[in-house]
Chain A
Amino acid sequence: MSARKPYVRPMAGWWRRDPFFVEYMVHEGTAFFVWLYALELLAGVLCLAQGKAAWDAYRAFVASVPLLILNAAIFAMMLYHGYTWFKIMPRTLPPMKVGGKRVAGATITALGLGGALVASVLLFGIVWMLTSGGAQ
């Protein structure tokens, strides 16, 4: 008879074991706020489809203090979500070469973050121009 009796350690609470796992759970957890914001936008679209009264009610709702606080929290979480997304990007892309040399991971992250920033500013500018044009 074999005297072997391998012991399998439990996995319960695994994510509390290492700070790296805690950070992973936090950055995955920020996806919840992305989902919240998607719901908020969806509600806006539905209200818009229902006519002016519903749309005005929606606008008043999102301008209320609790919603402003919630949206500030969502914005902060989105920023962190985006940051961690670009931080892991070098691990998820095939190796990139420019002029025969491998592009460093930090460069890929920086380019991703820079691209996201430029796109955000552009989008904000376009929306701002459209809305201020519409008010005149």
Chain B
Amino acid sequence: MSAAMAKVSVLRYRPEQDEVPVWQDYQVPYSDDMSVLTALNYIKDELDGTLSLRWSCRQAICGSCGMMIGGKPSLACKTFLRDYPEGIRVEALAHFPIERDLVVVMDGFMDKLQKVKPYIIPKEARSLDEGEYLQTPAEMDLYAQFAGCINCGLCYAACPQVGLNPDFIGPGAIALLHRYNLDSRDGGSAERMALINSEVGVFNCTAVGYCSEVCPKMVDPANAVNVGKMNSARDYFFRFMRPAGEKGECR
């Protein structure tokens, strides 16, 4: 008995020869435990070495293999051929420019990650001999969910507002921003507020909510963005009641 085969259609884009992306079909040997990533690597190793894709850990930790699988933003390592008996269509992550085949241009996303200042900005200077920061489990629980982000970009591929306005800071970066704002050791909320309030900030969101649905790490970026709207509105209406002159703030 010959081994069962599965059809994998891949949206190819080779900038040196393609004007627009084109679909190409491959047949790969099928097994119940075969992930889409394994199938793509089979294609690259055995059928067509020109296929380009990003991957690393194979266990939904590194966030490299995000792509559109059956039209949905998914991690290729966490999606299995067995769930697509009719064959599978694989395309580069939506709302990102395609660099080549399944590889997208991440530069804009990297810029956005930097813009949110994703690091602890201490409330006040602290010397080494004062020791480490202490944090209770309850304080950590406030932000722990948002710290689970692996920067895979699935939420950006799920957000039509990112597609319509590529400058929108987007769900993942705002979730990361929120993670630092919620950290008891951090004092950078006011500095980050200008970005939240800005033209590229939280009000680009129209509460589609798909970002949180597709997240492979159970982060809830839609919640971070919408709580950001609340904070932004509060900042707007109550800004006259705070002392002026804090860094990064305007009145």
Contact = CB atoms under 8 A, between A and B. Distances in A.
Interface in B50-70: none
A111 B208 CA distance: 21
B223 interface: yes
B15 A91 contact: no
B164 A11 contact: yes
B183 interface: no
Interface residues of B, number: 30
Contacts of A3: 15-16
Contacts of A92: 207, 222-223, 226-227
B202 to A, nearest CB: 11
Nearest to B214: A20
A21 interface: yes
A17 B71 contact: yes
A102 B82 CA distance: 35
B20 A7 contact: yes
29 contacts: A6-B97, A6-B99, A7-B13, A7-B97, A7-B98, A8-B98, A9-B94, A9-B98, A11-B160, A11-B163, A11-B164, A14-B160, A17-B71, A20-B210, A21-B160, A21-B208, A28-B206, A90-B223, A91-B209, A91-B212, A91-B220, A91-B222, A91-B223, A91-B226, A92-B223, A93-B223, A94-B227, A95-B142, A100-B138
